[in-house]
Amino acid sequence: MATTEQDPTLREMAAMEIESCQKSQEDALNELVNGLLRSNTPAEITPKGLILELKAGVGGSESGLFVQDMLKMYKAYSETRGWKSEVIATIMANESSGGAGAVKEALVEIKGPNVWSTLKYEKGVHRVQRVPLTETQGRVHTSTIGILVMPLAENNQRKVYDEKDVRVEVMRARGAGGQHVNKTESAVRLTHIPTGIQVSMQDTRSQQQNRTKAYEVLASRLLERQIREEVEERKTSRKSQIGNMDRSDKIRTYNFPQDRITDHRVGVGLNDIQSFFENGEGLDWIIDSLKEREKELLLDGLLQDA
């Protein structure tokens, strides 16, 4: 009787069987890890999109200009993905301090398939190193901005606040220098009393539109807070290391003199900054690297629990 070593047909069949078993094991492992990844967002929350909140940090007017650059990039990137984006609020920097055209704070709403699972990794501090247009000696300046990612809640999802806990104030809209820009009380400020979270909206002349947008942003901020608290509780219970992915310190550096973008969470970088800011080219590759790293950390956590 021929042995496996002697019969080529048997060797081929054995090799195919081994390959099939290995693939089954890989598929089962991937399904387990993907299930854990999905658990990082509570089952009853399936965001239809998100709100990106961009805030200028250190660096003065250069930081505000970087907010504007990132805002344009996210809108262009959303267009390439077939998502819908809308800037729902902006606060311009004070022009008297040399910040003409700089954005102090901006909110952009993005809707579409897989928006949340893709852009949730953008949360954190982004650092830019470049020579400002106003720099006469060619020195490189370092500036930062902060980005918060908040999920958009569907109307039929959990109730994230009770209206009796929200204080509503109306006032006249103000310009960058503090002066009133219209004569009607169209600006709206909401305060969620239990948490102290405040939302101000004055981008339209309609008080009702400002009120609607303010409530939407408030719900997103509260929902993000709830998700974060629940995820942290789950991480603690299974002793996962995935918390390293959520740190709020510097996550990415954009170095213009070196034409290089580096994501410090995974140590990956890419070149061609111009293309990145034109349409987000290369962002998919960075996010894919972050997802793979997240899987590795989850597996490490499982092995530690074993």
Most confident of 104-118, 133-147, 221-235: 104-118
Q: Is residue 135 domain-shared with residue 189, that is, in the same domain?
A: no
The structure's pTM equals 0.71
User: Distance between CA atoms of 70 and 78, rounded to whole angstroms?
Assistant: 12
Q: How many domains does the chain have?
A: 2
Average pLDDT over residues 257-274: 93
pLDDT digits (tens, 9 = 90+) for 1-18: 555 555 677 667 767 777
Q: Is residue 174 domain-shared with residue 120, that is, in the same domain?
A: no
CATH of residue 213: 3.30.160.20
pLDDT digits (tens, 9 = 90+) for 88-126: 888 887 655 555 668 889 999 999 999 988 999 999 999
Element (H, E) at 67: helix 61-81
Q: Is residue 56 domain-shared with residue 151, that is, in the same domain?
A: yes
Task: Show which of 177, 206, 233 is a domain's final residue.
Answer: 233
Q: Which residues have CB under 8 Å from 99's CB, separation 6+?
A: 60, 61, 64, 65, 92, 93
| Residue 205 DSSP label | S
User: Distance between CA atoms of 283 and 126, rounded to whole angstroms?
Assistant: 14
What Cα–Cα distance (Å) separates residue 88 from each residue in 34, 56, 110?
Answer: 33, 17, 10
Task: Show which of 212, 233, 254 is a domain's final residue.
Answer: 233
Confidence of residue 244 (pLDDT cuts 50, 70, 90): very low
Q: Is residue 97 domain-shared with residue 149, that is, in the same domain?
A: yes
- DSSP states along 137-176: S---EEEEEEEEEEEPPPTTS-----GGGEEEEEE--B-T
Q: Is residue 227 domain-shared with residue 258, that is, in the same domain?
A: no
Q: Is residue 181 domain-shared with residue 292, that is, in the same domain?
A: no
Q: Which residues have CB under 8 Å from 87's CB, separation 6+?
A: 71, 75, 106, 107, 108, 109
Q: Is residue 63 domain-shared with residue 124, that is, in the same domain?
A: yes
Is residue 6 domain-resident? Answer: no
| Residue found under tokens 């409530």 | 215
Q: Is residue 141 domain-shared with residue 183, that is, in the same domain?
A: no
- Residue 130, strand partner residues: 141
Task: Show which of 209, 233, 257 is a domain's final residue.
Answer: 233
User: Distance between CA atoms of 224 and 197, rounded to whole angstroms?
Assistant: 12
